[in-house]
Amino acid sequence: MLKRNLIWSIATGLFVFTITNNSFAIATTYQLIPGKPIVLTNTLNKATSAYCLIQAVDSVVNSISINMLQGNSVVNGTTIQKGGTSFQNVHNIQYIPITASKGASARITNTGSYSIQAQCALG
């Protein structure tokens, strides 16, 4: 099964293709630079889910803010409606589940001092 679309689209994403048991999985890696927001949009024609693996500095608190511009989402168990903002601490080697409504769009900002990498794949 080839998954042709990603939950989030962004021009600076790095695409990673993996093959497992004769099926393809596509992951996108995002670099979250401190203080530099990125806007992510669900480009699928339906609500969808993904998991993101976080890679971050182990010895500090790594924080992000998620501001919903359109639609709604559930990030790591927290529901965020259009216009709402959630602040979350993330940890190295943490998997974060995400669901996003059709057309959902969010502004993600790393509010910490060190870069965070998130590798996300459809779940």
Q: What is the mean pLDDT of the chain?
A: 84
Task: Residue 70: give its domain's CATH number.
Answer: 2.60.120
Range 71-89 average pLDDT: 97
Q: Is residue 2 part of a domain?
A: no
Report the predicted TM-score, pTM, of the whole model to 2 decimal places.
0.79
Task: Return the minimum-mean-pLDDT range out of 13-17, 33-37, 66-70, 86-90.
Answer: 13-17
Q: Is residue 9 part of a domain?
A: no
Q: Is residue 74 part of a domain?
A: yes
Tell me, what's the pLDDT at 24? 54
Tell me, what's the pLDDT at 2? 35
| Residues in a beta bridge with 87 | 65
Name residue 96's amino acid: I
| Number of compact structural domains in the chain | 1
Contact by Cβ (8 Å): 44, 104 = no
- Domain limits at 94? 14-122
Band (pLDDT 50/70/90 cuts) for residue 123 is confident
Q: Is residue 5 part of a domain?
A: no
Burial environment of residue 35 by CB neighbours within 10 A (0 to 12, 13 to 18, 19 or more)? exposed
Q: Is residue 4 part of a domain?
A: no
Residues 6+ apart with CB under 8 A from 98: 7, 49, 50, 51, 52, 73, 74, 75, 76, 120
For tokens 């024609």, name the residue.
45
Between 119 and 9, where is the model more confident?
A: 119
For the stretch 92-116, pLDDT in tens is: 999 999 999 999 999 999 999 999 9
Q: Is residue 7 part of a domain?
A: no
For the stretch 36-53, pLDDT in tens is: 999 999 998 999 999 999
